Amino acid sequence: MNKTFEVETLNSIGWPKGTTDCSTRELLEKVEQATQEAFNKFKEVKSEAKKSKHRLEKGSLQKIIDSTKEKFCILYDMIISANTVRQ
């Protein structure tokens, strides 16, 4: 009776098979979408600044990146590089 209980508990420990791969893929997709949206937003802000013949505010790119991270529920320890968005 004890042996079956031990076997059942050993099999039920941990995450279900494949869930970590799935969550990793979803996170990478979110980061990619956030990067694309940050790029598009930065492009719009940059073109508006050019039209009005003004400079961008300091830190505007980082504000855009932070807002897209918040929108896509990406943790702040995940890095979206400003250089990637700027290209």
Per-residue model confidence as pLDDT tens for the chain (87 residues):
555 545 555 556 776 666 778 888 898 999 999 999 999 999 999 999 999 988 888 999 999 999 999 999 998 888 888 888 887
Separation between Cα atoms, residue 62 and residue 70, nearest integer Å:
12
Query: For residue 8, what pLDDT is reported?
Result: 52
Burial of 7 (0-12, 13-18, 19+ CB in 10 A): exposed
CA distances for 48 relative to 32, 36, 37, 69, 73, angstroms? 25, 19, 17, 23, 27
pLDDT of residue 48: 93
